[in-house]
Amino acid sequence: MREKKVILLVEDEALIAMSQKGGLEKYGYEVITVPSGEKAIQIIRDRRSIDIILMDINLGKGKMDGTECSEIILREIDVPILFLSSYTQSDIVERTEKITSYGYVVKDSGEAVINASVAMAFKLHEAHQKLTKSETRYKHISEMMADYVYSCTRAPGHEYSIDWIAGATEKITGYSIDEIAGWGCWKPMVHPEHITVFERNIVNLEPGTTSDCEIKILNKNGDERWIRSSARCVNDTGNNVHRLYGTVHDITGGKRASEELAANASRLKRLVDILQHASESIQEFLDYALEQAIELTGSTIGYIYYYDEGCKEFVLNTWSKNVMPECAVTNPQTRYELDKTGLWGEAVRQRRPIVVNDFQNYHPLRKGYPEGHVELHK
């Protein structure tokens, strides 16, 4: 097992490469430098173990640029690529986003910012790998078993009618076998968004054809569940009746796990975007960070306060856009003494994040809020 993570630094300017190499080595990385895209590709093809690539976008006039090199490399191996650039124009951002989700760093950002961007890229790549492994694992396991099976027939000019069904139907759907059989077809529990998928892959299947699809259903309690359906349509011998054989796998657990991993990867990407955001002032950066944090957490309102350790006082810096239209507090304060704050001051008092997902319920540290305050739930 290698002790150090290996960075491939692709930079055509020798002095910049030397400086960045030294800065990264301070953080415990092994750094390999190459001056061109061609040499970077050769190292990858020589099977050199590389954990991340820092890729300069402009590698010299008339030479392969960093984006072209990255596209070639990513066709051959799965490796995080973090772009380096002296520019922050929107076209540069768009070019990098089309190739990889790890973003870019402005070259003169400083050692700490570049190191933090590398660390975030590693976390984002790990999240992507976990998502891929989870999806593959769940697919293989679910393919080995069917949660329930069914058979139905359709005579010319008639709808399908279930004539046989067995398995864990009630556990998955909440409906008994008799209830489902009574419908003649299990279309009534298909989610409205997936009716078209259901009809294309099951109802309208022609004899001699098969289909596999993922469908969202609503169980008896109205909760959403995901299933994978496999179906085969045949002609019943000699009577011109279509017969449909089907198996159903409950993939809800795998879907939810994948969605959570994808959400985590999205959160990491958002943090990378905040870290790499080019701002002309601290206030612009804080405004951007607040906006991203609100989206990151699925919130509707947010704020940033400065805290003065000396006088133990909070001073308002920024409110989110939606606060004032919803707030009816007369003469809202912009300064708060720590001792007079309620639950939100606990983050400073306890020196740790405080998360409350049901603000309306009783909490021993909650003091409430003034009349006209925006109503809080989480």
CA distance 254 to 240: 39
Determine the Cα angle at 269 with ends 78 and 71, to 5°: 35
CA distance 340 to 345: 8
- Name which of 164, 204, 170, 171 is nearest 187 in CA terms: 204
Residue 91 pLDDT: 67
Structure token pair of residue 367: 């003091």
Q: Residue 28: count other Cβ atoms within 10 Å of its Cβ.
A: 10
pLDDT at 140 over 90: no
Using an 8 Å Cβ cutoff, are 98 and 105 in contact?
no
The tens digit of pLDDT for each residue in 244-287 reads 888 898 999 888 888 888 888 888 888 888 888 877 888 888 88
pLDDT at 193 over 90: yes
To 10 degrees, what angle do helices 14-25 and 111-143 make?
70
Name the one residue in this structure whose structure tokens are 């009577």. 239
The tens digit of pLDDT for each residue in 37-76 reads 999 999 998 877 899 999 988 888 778 888 889 999 999 8
pLDDT at 142 over 60: no
Q: Above pLDDT 70, what percent of the chain?
A: 87
Going along 80-175, which residue ranges are E strands? Answer: 81-85, 104-106, 148-154, 161-167
What are the backbone dihedrals phi and psi of residue 44, each rounded to the nearest 5 degrees, phi first? -65, -40
pLDDT at 328 over 60: no
DSSP secondary structure code for residue 270 in this structure: H
- Exposure of 187 by Cβ count < 10 A (0-12 exposed, 13-18 middle, 19+ buried)? middle
- Name which of 157, 242, 255 is nearest 208 in CA terms: 242
Classified as helix, coil or strand, 81 is strand
Which residues are CB-neighbours of 89 under 8 A, at least 6 positions away? none
Highest mean pLDDT among 119-123, 143-147, 227-231: 227-231
CA distance 277 to 288: 8
**Exposure of 167 in the CB half-sphere (CA atoms within 13 A):** 17
Using an 8 Å Cβ cutoff, are 239 and 132 in contact?
no
Using an 8 Å Cβ cutoff, are 125 and 102 in contact?
yes
Using an 8 Å Cβ cutoff, are 149 and 244 in contact?
no
Residue 215 pLDDT: 94
Residue 130 pLDDT: 78
Which residues are CB-neighbours of 311 under 8 A, at least 6 positions away? none
Confidence of residue 196 (pLDDT cuts 50, 70, 90): very high
CA distance 274 to 331: 32
Residue 103 pLDDT: 72
| pLDDT mean over 163-173 | 84
The tens digit of pLDDT for each residue in 143-166 reads 455 588 888 888 877 888 888 888
Residue 374 pLDDT: 64
Using an 8 Å Cβ cutoff, are 144 and 247 in contact?
no
**Exposure of 251 in the CB half-sphere (CA atoms within 13 A):** 26
Predicted TM-score (pTM) of this structure: 0.48
